Amino acid sequence: MSKKEHKSEEYLAINPFGKLPALTCGDVTVVRDHSCATHPMVVIITHTHTHTQFESGAILLYLAEIVGGADTAAKRAELAQWVLFANSTLVCFLENSMLVPSLLSSRCPPRCPPCSPTQYDALFQPSENTTLAKVMEPLDSILSKKTYLIGDALTAADIAVGSSLLYAQMFIKV
């Protein structure tokens, strides 16, 4: 990123917003060797046609579609539900936990319209509806009853939620 390769013309053709992540891959065929029930070997054969995808949630859903497992509309919707939860609801609560305290400590960030401390505090003070506990308590309750968010194996749902939580750990002091 320091070389700004994500702002190059070539990269902007993949992701017009110049953000990470992005994925470019060929058409894929997934072949499973079921000789080992606990760890089936997955062989991916690529072809020449390329496909590009950006946004982490879209990439996860795309890869989940390739690998399989979500073979009904209901299963795909459940998977999408958790990926969207991670990339919207969870991230919003995490950002509130990370950004609001730093904004409050510095008062007005750059490009913030001039405001009095009282107006500023009213705008950015966390409320009962924006605390991280509001989203972490139900998530903790769900995961206290099972290992994975969906079914009995790791899915894109676990990767989406887990990566959001891992990323947040870099910023939230526990």
Q: pLDDT tens, position by position, for the chain (174 residues)?
A: 778 888 889 889 888 999 888 888 776 555 544 455 554 544 444 445 677 888 999 989 988 888 887 889 999 999 999 999 999 888 888 877 666 555 444 444 444 444 555 554 554 455 555 577 788 889 999 999 999 999 999 999 999 999 998 887 776 654
**Quick count: other Cβ atoms within 10 Å of Cβ 155?**
22
Distance, in Å, from the CA atom of 110 to the CA atom of 60, rounded to the nearest integer, reads 34
The answer to whether 40 and 71 have CB atoms below 8 angstroms apart is no
What is the DSSP code (8-state) at residue 5?
G
- Helices 156-169 and 56-67 pack at an angle, to 10 degrees, of 150
* Fold type of domain 73-169: Glutathione S-transferase Yfyf (Class Pi); Chain A, domain 2 (1.20.1050)
Beta-ladder partners of 22: 54
What per-residue string of b and e applies to 67-106 under the rule 16 or more CB within 10 Å gives b?
A: eeebeeeeeeebbbebbebbbeebbebbebbbebeebeee
| Distance from the Cα of residue 141 to its chain's centroid | 20
Q: Can you give the residue ranges of every domain in the chain?
A: 5-54, 73-169
Peptide linkage before 113 cis (omega within 30 of 0): no
Enclosing H/E stretch for 31? strand 22-33
Backbone CA torsion sign across 166, 79, 82, 26: positive
Give dist(CA 114, CA 160) in Å, integer. Answer: 37
Separation of alpha carbons 83 and 41, rounded Å: 25
